Amino acid sequence: MFFEKLFIQDLTDKINIVDVVGARVKLKKTGGNFSGLCPFHNEKTPSFSVNIAKGFYHCFGCGASGSVISFVMQYENLPFVEAVQSLCQRFGIALPEQNIQSQEKSAKNQLEYQRLTRVMQKANDFYCEELKKSTIAQDYLIQRKLSPAVIEKYKIGYAPNSWQNFNNQNISGADLLNTGLQKQNEKGKIYDRLRDRITYPIFNNRGTIIGFGARAISDDNKPKYLNSPQTKLFDKSYELYGMYQILNSKNKFDSIILTEGYMDVISLSQHGFENAVSASGTAISAHQIQSLHRFCDIIIVCLDSDQAGINAALKITYIALPLLKENKQIKFITLPAGDDPDDYIQNNGAEKFNILIENSKSIEIFLLEHIKNQYQTDDIAGKNATINEVYKIINLIQDESYKKIFTEFFSRELGVNISDIQSQSTLQPKNATEKLTMTPIRKMLSLLIQNPEFSQDLLSNPDVFKNNIKGMEVLKTIMDDVIKFNLTTVASLDEHLKEYSFYDYLKKLLMSYDYFKQTNLGNNADKDTQHKIFMNLTDSFIKPQLRNERQKLNNIWQETDSLTPEQKNRLDEINKKLKTKNHAEN
């Protein structure tokens, strides 16, 4: 379903955001806003603020912010369309009838999605049939000790060693490119991406094939592992290989084993550990950690024992620390040197692997061992380096109770004073909510996204955009869109800006400009002060530009003893503008 921007703006204008948030969060009136404990991270002191007039919420602790639609999406884990439908149903707002154009666009997108998923299914059917024909591929899987049952469970196949496997498959060339099954080189030649490889289809949570992982059979076929690229179907940062099989299982799991590769998942499953997943050809993302924790309380990380695997495990700890919540755990298995989960389970069996699970280390123990291996605390330099490392870890944690537990734990185990860690922690902002240095352009952006109506002031002062400093283009984009789409509220502007790559950057600005915190997210009662600050910032860009331009025109006049009519008019215009702005200051 496709919603017009006007409908979304009307929806956010009609719904009182406090009615929605207040049903899930205990709110207290504080000045012109409402505040409460943030529902998106654990805290003891309220840092979550809701502004009715702007239809906007913001947490100064974890950075969560947005409109009423954003809140429902984040709180109830709903996609955009379902969040809109949920709000409309609750408040008795009729969903718009899809006009012909939007209906056609929605139908076209849906048809394309269905067509591309059929192409992927057809490709996997082809790969599975080719596996039955290839003794080399079958011998390889036998060598890897895979049973027919597990091959069927994960729909493993084989891509023949041919450049054009799909020539006779009645699939368009565009669809083969759009699914990533084929690629085009710099010379324009189109050919199959996967050749002479074992294929591992990647399913989404609904059981639709959206991508492939593949492993070369021959040592000469480089790289060893190859994955589908990002496509309209496949987003590597969201999908987890093996998750569909877990969701489709009759068994219930208290934990999930997070591994590094497809074969790790398959081998563990074959040995009875059906609760294993792996990333789909990329590093683990925060979204994937959160998805796993919605499904179970315990994530057990079991990566390869080489240096790359150790580094990947450390990266997971830094991603996971800000997400730690009550009753949610992350543990780590350390495999013997040279092993990966596939090797270990094949060589040692399920019983010994189960012992590894039972002896898995908590995240703080895992980090402690890392710190002890990296630093020595018997000299001043080593002690300072240790405190700095602990500081980084502590400041990643958002949950105050976890922060206290970790501080006391590292202080005790490393022999450093809690006061040393705490004093170091005051030197820098939290990494998870790291503040930006507030330059004038960043202040203007912060004020503009909280006051969309200031766009009219920018429109009346086009000279401001003659500056080529970083951020000015973003400022102009926001101004143009506010005027073009009539985005009169913070909520409607927020929903609109989500389409841009700089959206996360703008959210960070809200946390960096203390003015908002001091004035309760820009309370309407202080609108005049905000507007004055905004105009002063605007003038700080315009006046140097005007003075420079005036100086150039005066130089021309002195050198040539004349100006063109256009130049004279421009010089008069500049003088008037500067006089007006100087008068306004006085």
**Residue labelled with tokens 């154009």:** 101
pLDDT at 383 over 60: yes
Specify whether 264 is located in the same domain as 339: yes
CATH number at residue 61: 3.90.580.10
CB 9 within 8 A of CB 488: yes
DSSP codes joined into one string, 388-443: HHHHHHHHH---HHHHHHHHHHHHHHHT--HHHHHHHHTTS--STTPPPP--HHHH
pLDDT per residue over 422-478, tens digit each?
A: 655 443 334 434 556 778 888 888 888 888 889 988 888 888 887 777 788 888 888
Q: Which amino acid is at 492?
A: S
Mean local confidence (pLDDT), 45-63? 84
Indicate the number of domains in the chain.
Answer: 5
Collapsed DSSP state (helix, strand, coil) of residue 199: strand
Q: Please give the residue that has the higher pLDDT: either 142 or 108.
A: 142
571 lies in some domain: yes
Q: What is the pTM of this model?
A: 0.59
Q: Where does a domain end: 193, 227, 261?
A: 227
Helices assigned H by DSSP within 217-321: 243-247, 262-270, 286-295, 307-320
314 lies in some domain: yes
Specify whether 41 is located in the same domain as 64: yes
Domain extent, residue 11, equals 5-91
pLDDT per residue over 182-215, tens digit each?
A: 998 888 899 999 999 999 999 987 788 999 999 9
Q: Among 291-305, 351-365, 408-422, 499-513, whose mean pLDDT is lowest?
A: 499-513
CA distance 262 to 414: 38
pLDDT per residue over 304-339, tens digit each?
A: 888 888 888 998 998 888 888 777 899 999 999 889
CATH number at residue 140: 3.90.980.10
234 lies in some domain: no
Give the pair of three-digit tokens for residue 144: 């890897």
108 lies in some domain: no
CB 260 within 8 A of CB 253: no
Specify whether 250 is located in the same domain as 335: yes
Mean local confidence (pLDDT), 520-539? 70
Q: Which amino acid is at 39?
A: P
Specify whether 296 is located in the same domain as 208: no
Confidence at 298, pLDDT banded by 50, 70, 90: very high
Report pLDDT for 1. 54
CA distance 269 to 19: 46
| Side-by-side strand order, sheet with 209-216 | 157-159, 197-203, 209-216, 225-227
Report pLDDT for 107. 56
pLDDT at 25 over 70: yes
Specify whether 447 is located in the same domain as 557: yes
Pairing of strands 298-301, 255-259: parallel
Specify whether 359 is located in the same domain as 387: no
Specify whether 177 is located in the same domain as 272: no
How many helical (H) and strand (E) elements, i.e. helices and strands, does the chain have?
A: 25, 17
CATH number at residue 508: 1.10.860
CA atoms within 13 A on the CB side of 344: 25
CATH number at residue 289: 3.40.1360.10
Q: Torsion over CA of 346, 348, 351 and 353, rounded to 10 degrees? A: -80
pLDDT per residue over 71-110, tens digit each?
A: 988 888 777 888 888 898 888 887 876 544 555 555 566 7
What percent of the chain has a predicted confidence (pLDDT) above 90?
A: 30
454 lies in some domain: yes
Specify whether 462 is located in the same domain as 503: yes
CB 377 within 8 A of CB 410: no
CB 279 within 8 A of CB 322: no
Specify whether 57 is located in the same domain as 138: no
Q: Where does a domain end: 169, 198, 227?
A: 227
CA distance 213 to 205: 17
Report pLDDT for 351. 96
Which are the contacts of 207, defined by CB distance < 8 A and separation ≥ 6? 244, 248
pLDDT at 503 over 70: yes
Report pLDDT for 519. 44
Specify whether 208 is located in the same domain as 75: no
pLDDT at 577 over 80: no
Please report how the helices 472-485 and 5-14 are oriented relative to each other, as an axis angle in degrees rounded to 10. 80
101 lies in some domain: no
98 lies in some domain: no
Q: What is the mean pLDDT of the chain?
A: 83
Measured CA angle at 205 (ends 203, 207), to 5 deg:
50
Give the pair of three-digit tokens for residue 238: 């969201």
Confidence at 518, pLDDT banded by 50, 70, 90: very low
Q: Please give the residue that has the higher pLDDT: either 115 or 108.
A: 115
Report pLDDT for 427. 39
Specify whether 504 is located in the same domain as 389: no
CB 146 within 8 A of CB 155: no
Handedness of CA 230, 234, 236, 242 (dihedral sign): negative
Report pLDDT for 145. 94
CA distance 10 to 110: 26
Specify whether 194 is located in the same domain as 78: no
232 lies in some domain: no
CB 416 within 8 A of CB 390: yes
